[in-house]
Amino acid sequence: MDLVPKPDQVIAAAGNVAHMLLYGGLADLRPMPRTLIDEGTLREVYHYRPDPVVEAQGDPVLLVTPLAAPATCFDLRRGCSVVEHLVTGGRPTYLVEYGAVSFRDRDLGLEHWAEEVVPTAIREVSRHAGGRPVHVVGWSLGGIFAMLSAADFPDLPIASLSVLGSPVDTTLVPMVAPLRPLLSATDWPGPITRTYRALGGVPTPLVRWAFQLTSFQKLVTKPIAVAVHLDDADWLAQVEAVDRFIGAMTAYPGRSFGQLYHRFAKGNALASGTVELGDHPVSLSAITAPTLVFAGAGDGIAPVAAVRAVLPLLTGAPDVRFEIVPGGHLGMLAGRGARESTWQVLDEWFDQHDGRALPKNRAARKKSAAKKAPAKKAVAEKPAASPEVLGANPQRRHTSAGSRALAP
């Protein structure tokens, strides 16, 4: 609204306030209809009901959620839902989520998700879709799960990988970098380790607080921002949907958090390209699927540099693409600006890699990757040499000004 509101702005603002008071909100929070097709320990795989008026086309997409975050990250609200966008476009769409984490799950490590949950979900989606290869899309830690699974199981029926907001080099994450001297001190890890072990993980309230802390300035100025945008129903609906998303966050299992703390935050192991998973090392160079990497221009949890660090590690992928898109950590995926940036890039990527012929065994995959590795390397190194360029595609330029999403 203008500093001196126009009559139409006053009328719109009054209507929005009345609607929020009478109906409890402006956002259409109805979830997209879905059916459970597989389940296991902290694993639920869903198939979203196809749009009856749209012909199904293309290989299926599997959306991989991160730990602690609800699946609404992919289905935030009607009109701003990745799931809705894919389904109405005719793309067979699936999702794997983990349900509520409790104290009894405290002994589950990251290998449970990277070795069991995600690989099983990929196989089940391929089976359900008639044996077709799967486009795997992971956001935040879900992207890291997807990469580790693809690296550890090169025979998985993966058409492509898309990784959004997944930090690989934690020394470049502003929230972690100032704490590294403390994490390295011999007298600090002990109390931290004993605390999360005693609690069985990181409790839900602390997870919510940590997520909100990444956008502290927006949190403080939120009342002012809401007042300024009282005449904008779509903006207010987005705020409402993001608040619901944050309110539905869950806990981290104790052992998984311990691995994230010791190996990723403190040890920065993933930046080397190889991480210990269970009883063996897993190297990102073993990924042989085409890989699309997204970074959010305003992401405080996974800054551009921390995400871009994965590019030189993907030496086995036949095709690597890097894009910087508008928005923060959630905004790049489900912000209002994502509709014209992230989602469009994903559509192009899926179309490009639909019908990919998958090698039938590990040796064939490695041979195929070795033949194509030089072309991939040139793509991966281009953004590092020109950090001012937004995106690896010279025909596309996304700036942070293109997104009005409040989402952090």
Q: Are 294 and 162 in contact (CB under 8 A)?
A: yes
Q: How far is CA 66 from CA 3, 174, 359, in A?
A: 41, 20, 29
Distance CA 336, CA 404 (A): 7
Distance CA 346, CA 330 (A): 16
- Among residues of the chain, what percentage have pLDDT more than 70? 66
* Number of DSSP helices (H) and strands (E) in the chain, helices first: 15, 12
User: 261 Cβ partners below 8 Å, 6+ apart?
Assistant: 192, 193, 196
Sheet with 158-164: strands ordered across: 34-40, 43-48, 93-97, 61-64, 134-139, 158-164, 291-296, 320-325
| pLDDT of amino acid 230 | 72
Q: Report residue 223's pLDDT band, with 50, 70 and 90 as the boundaries.
A: low
Q: Are 189 and 262 in contact (CB under 8 A)?
A: yes
Compute and round to an integer the Cα radius of gyration of the chain: 21
- Position 22, amino acid: L
Q: Are 83 and 32 in contact (CB under 8 A)?
A: yes
What are the residue boundaries of the structural domains of the chain, listed by start? 30-191+256-402
Phi, psi (rounded to 5 degrees) for 158: -105, 120
Domain 30-191+256-402 class in CATH: alpha beta
79: its two tokens: 């009109």
Q: What is the mean pLDDT of residues 317-331?
A: 96
Q: Are 320 and 294 in contact (CB under 8 A)?
A: no
8-17, 305-314, 379-388, range with greatest mean pLDDT = 305-314
Look up residue 394 and give its DSSP letter: T
Task: Name the average pLDDT for the chain.
Answer: 78
85: its two tokens: 């966008």
- Give the least confident one: 152-156, 196-200, 221-225: 196-200
- Give the least confident one: 136-145, 253-262, 367-376: 367-376
- Where does residue 366 rank: exposed (0-12), middle (13-18), buried (19+ CB within 10 A)? middle
Enclosing H/E stretch for 228: helix 216-228
Q: What is the mean pLDDT of residues 401-406?
A: 33
Q: Are 286 and 296 in contact (CB under 8 A)?
A: no
- Position 251, amino acid: A
Chain centre to alpha carbon of residue 76 = 13
325: its two tokens: 């898109």
Q: Are 46 and 99 in contact (CB under 8 A)?
A: no
Distance CA 160, CA 319 (A): 9
| pLDDT of amino acid 318 | 96
Q: Are 101 and 110 in contact (CB under 8 A)?
A: no
Which residue has better confidence, 133 or 397? 133
352: its two tokens: 């490009």
Q: Report residue 232's pLDDT band, with 50, 70 and 90 as the boundaries.
A: confident
196-205, 310-319, 399-408, range with greatest mean pLDDT = 310-319
Distance CA 124, CA 132 (A): 11
Which residue has better confidence, 186 or 5? 5
Please give the model's pTM, rounded to 2 decimal places. Answer: 0.76
Choose among 3, 143, 130: nearest CA to 73. Answer: 143
pLDDT tens profile 327-368: 999 999 999 999 999 999 999 999 999 987 665 543 333 344
Which residue has better confidence, 100 or 45? 45
Sign of CA dihedral 328, 333, 337, 342: positive
Kindly tell me if the per-residue pLDDT of 376 is higher than 80: no
Q: Is 94 helix (H, G, I), strand (E, B) or coil?
A: strand
Distance CA 249, CA 339 (A): 24
Kindly tell me if the per-residue pLDDT of 57 is higher than 80: yes
| pLDDT of amino acid 59 | 97
Sign of CA dihedral 227, 228, 234, 239: negative
